[in-house]
Amino acid sequence: MYNDKEGKYLNRSRFYVSYAWHASLSRKLQFSAGLSVGGMNYSVEGTPLSGDGSDTKVDGAVGISFYSDAFHVGLSFGQIFNSKVQPLEEITVLSPFINMYANRKFLFNENFLFSPSFTARIPFINESGDKLNPLFDMNLLIELRKKLLISSGIHNNSMMIIAAGIKGLSISHGELGIMVSYAFPGLRKTLIRTNYGEIGIHYSF
């Protein structure tokens, strides 16, 4: 589950249940296939004249990947239901898209890992006939002593992202990881401030 709030009036929430199946193709190569099914809620705080609005629609994705200890490549098909969310008058279309992902790990020694990655999101033509532009992410991750994470990259063709975090913290029979990132328009000038920060927390047991 995650939430995205834009200003004071717009609120988007997504929730999914995922299942993945893994199989060994060889001693080093693994295969995985999976799906996610859930939905999106879009709520708008309106004016006394227009009132508030909220709408929830089904959403989902399917994908496959090949991976080993050294690399990971995958292909997925997102927003497969082409749902239309309409909290008030405007309609948000969850247009289907294809994601392609590739990652390579270079382990120089047990204390230093260097890992570049690349992601491409290729949308389909929407119902209005406008061609939606592909989006690309490129990232470089450095891992020190299997604990400290530092990364930088390009998001959505123009946004620069810097991030730092820590993983593998032993807490109550499990492991905790925390990642903090900050994004800013480093490759193009904007009239509107589009900087944003994110905090990710992962716990496994």
Reported pTM = 0.75
Task: Name residues whose C-beta falls within 8 Å of residue 55's C-beta, 6 or more positions apart in sequence.
Answer: 41, 42, 43, 85, 86, 87
Over residues 11-49, the pLDDT tens digits come to: 899 999 999 999 999 999 999 999 999 999 999 887 666
- Cα distances from 39 to residues 42, 59, 79, 80, 83, in angstroms, run 10, 5, 10, 11, 9
Over residues 105-158, the pLDDT tens digits come to: 999 888 999 999 999 999 876 655 566 789 999 999 999 988 999 999 998 888
Q: Where are the domains of the chain?
A: 1-94, 104-116+139-205
Over residues 145-163, the pLDDT tens digits come to: 889 999 999 988 889 999 9
Q: How confident is residue 2, by pLDDT bands cut at 50, 70 and 90?
A: confident
- Measured CA to CA, the distance from residue 197 to residue 192 in angstroms comes to 16
Q: Tokens representing 148?
A: 């400290």
Gyration radius of the chain's alpha carbons: 20
Instruction: With CA atoms as reference, report the closest residue to 132 among 121, 116, 147, 141.
Output: 121
Task: Name residues whose C-beta falls within 8 Å of residue 116's C-beta, 6 or more positions apart in sequence.
Answer: 103, 104, 138, 139, 140, 141
